[in-house]
Structure 1
Amino acid sequence: MRLGAHVRTDTDPIGTAEDMGADLLQMFVTDPQDRKMPKPEPHPDTDRIRSSPIDVVVHSSYIINVASLNNRLRMPSRKAVELQAAAAADLGAIGLVVHGGHLGDGEDDAEGFANWRKLFERQADKGGFAVPIFIENTAGGDHAMARTLESIERLWDAVGDFDQAGFCLDTCHAWAGGEDLVGLVERIRDITGRIDLVHLNNSRDEFDSGRDRHANLTDGHIGSEVLVEVARAASAPVILETPAEGVADDLAFLREQLA
């Protein structure tokens, strides 16, 4: 099991990962908050990142919403997924994490799930994405595409037959979304058949809060032993997105507990 952490806006991601003893790292390839979703620029350390034994996963822009019924958001989002997947491949990444997205009040959820399918269909016509797309469950929103097990099942009915559709399980998001973490790995696998990546995060808020605020592994409302068991049961690469001041300690704690 490879364990690592998200490296935030770091010019030396490999050095940072080495300092904390990580087996893999997660990074952005563009400003995640930029609403223009520009084409990623080549990373100045590309050669070092590609040649390092430390694996890489890329997290896509937060602005991306491929489910949206708004053409002015959905169409740029589709293009951004394609371009950020290509940038991830340039770094030798194992995949691109993309949030499930959401719709607005009064909009038909079925159209959102259909838009997810169209993302993969349209890209398949171009030869597919440069890396697998790891769809991440989300914490809140009444019209979220991947908050509840029911919504994840509907999403997987739409995209599950595409080989490049993977799943990223975020523990804070699941907790905030009202899903019991005990036995969740098995319930997710019953739906998707796979878990490609785990975002192992504690939560600053109570169960079913709908709030996405991460805490360090031993500091939040989720029992640390429950988080360790999720990581063990998933048997997939683990990325910590916990607060930066404690992430190295979190990584050491997790490695010790899984030993």
Structure 2
Amino acid sequence: MRIGAHVDATDPLGAAAARDAETVQFFLADPQGWKAPQPHPDADRLRGSDIDVYVHAPYVINVATLNNRIRIPSRKLLVTHATAAATVGAKGLIVHGGHVNAGDDLAVGIDNWRKTFAYAAKSGGFATPVLIENTAGGDNACARRFDNLARLWDAVGEFDVGFCLDTCHAHAGGEDLLDIVDRVKAITGRIDLIHANDSKDAFGSGRDRHDNLGNGKIDPELVVAAVRASGAPVVVETPGGVDGQRADIALLRGAGR
């Protein structure tokens, strides 16, 4: 079981050592901005390291939307980040499932996802595997509730798309963690990465606020059970800096033995 944390991009390998982590995840650009990532100064070291690397795409990316002013730049930025992620040896590029606006047809948003992969496939596909992540909120989200996730996978599954399961997002989104791995795999056939996060908020709240394992509203045994059942690499995206994340990693590693 490869376990690690979301860290600052300045020194991912140093951050991994401080947390006793085998995996790191980081942003390559402002997560709330549209600027393309710059070359990472430690790209060579990251590619040559035995630490597994994942990159998280900016939150602003929403390829599902019917708004051309957001969808078209989102497609371009996703391709750009996948290319940049390859330069640091990333095993996956995580991107949120996106949403359509109130009153818009979700089926069109899901087809926009299909078109995103179809367009990329025409030029050889994404340089780094794309992992779609389930999200916590939004009544018009593509990957919050698993009935919509199933519709999304019917549209994009043929493109060998990966999936990232976030435990906080599932809990906040109204999906019970009990047997969640079986339910996800029945839809996607795979889980490529788990974001093992507790939630500060109640089940079904729709609020995306992470907490350290055992400190929030989720029974940590349910998180541990999901991690064990998935067999996937794990990233904690929890607060508390080095100490908080190191404790979360130790909890998961101890439970996995």
What band does the TM-score fall into relative to the shorter chain? over 0.9
Q: Post-superposition shift, 1:158?
A: 0.6
Structure 2 residue aligned with 1:249: 247
Q: Distance in 1 between matches of 2:168 and 2:83?
A: 28
* Residue identity in the other structure for 1:2: R
* Residue identity in the other structure for 2:178: V
Structure 2 residue aligned with 1:22: 21
Structure 1 residue aligned with 2:233: 237
Q: Post-superposition shift, 1:47?
A: 1.2
* Residue identity in the other structure for 1:14: L
Q: Distance in 1 between matches of 2:106 and 2:240?
A: 36
Q: Post-superposition shift, 1:73?
A: 0.2
Larger RCO (CA under 8 A, 6+ residues apart): 2
> Under a length normalisation based on structure 2, what TM-score does the superposition of the two structures give?
0.98
Q: Distance in 2 between matches of 1:205 and 1:39?
A: 33
Structure 2 residue aligned with 1:216: 212
Structure 1 residue aligned with 2:6: 6
Q: Distance in 2 between matches of 1:207 and 1:19?
A: 33
Q: Post-superposition shift, 1:244?
A: 3.1
> Under a length normalisation based on structure 1, what TM-score does the superposition of the two structures give?
0.97
Does residue 54 of structure 2 align to residue 33 of structure 1?
no
* Residue identity in the other structure for 2:239: P
**RMSD across aligned C-alpha pairs, in angstroms?**
0.7
* Residue identity in the other structure for 2:58: S
Q: Distance in 2 between matches of 1:215 and 1:45?
A: 30
Structure 1 residue aligned with 2:189: 193
Give runs of aligned pairs for residues 80-95 of structure 1, distance below 5 A: 80-95=77-92
1:44 aligned to 25, 28, 41, which one? 41
Secondary structure of 2:58 counterpart: coil
Q: Distance in 2 between matches of 1:253 and 1:124?
A: 40
| CA-to-aligned-CA distance 1:129-169 (integer Å, 9 cap, x gap) | 00110000000101001000101000001101112x11000
Q: Distance in 2 between matches of 1:182 and 1:55?
A: 28
Q: Post-superposition shift, 1:186?
A: 0.2
Q: Post-superposition shift, 1:172?
A: 0.3
Does residue 170 of structure 2 align to residue 170 of structure 1?
no
- The answer for unaligned runs of 5 or more in structure 1 is none
Structure 2 residue aligned with 1:68: 65
Q: Distance in 2 between matches of 1:52 and 1:19?
A: 15
Q: Distance in 2 between matches of 1:85 and 1:179?
A: 29
Q: Post-superposition shift, 1:19?
A: 1.5
* Residue identity in the other structure for 1:17: A
Residue correspondences, number: 255
Structure 1 residue aligned with 2:145: 148
Q: Post-superposition shift, 1:50?
A: 1.0
* Residue identity in the other structure for 1:38: K
Q: Distance in 2 between matches of 1:187 and 1:256?
A: 26
Query: Where does structure 1 differ by over 3 angstroms across 4 or more consecutive aligned residues?
Result: none
| CA-to-aligned-CA distance 1:216-252 (integer Å, 9 cap, x gap) | 0010110111110010001001000011331111111
Q: Post-superposition shift, 1:48?
A: 1.2
Does residue 221 of structure 2 align to residue 225 of structure 1?
yes
1:125 aligned to 122, 125, 144, which one? 122
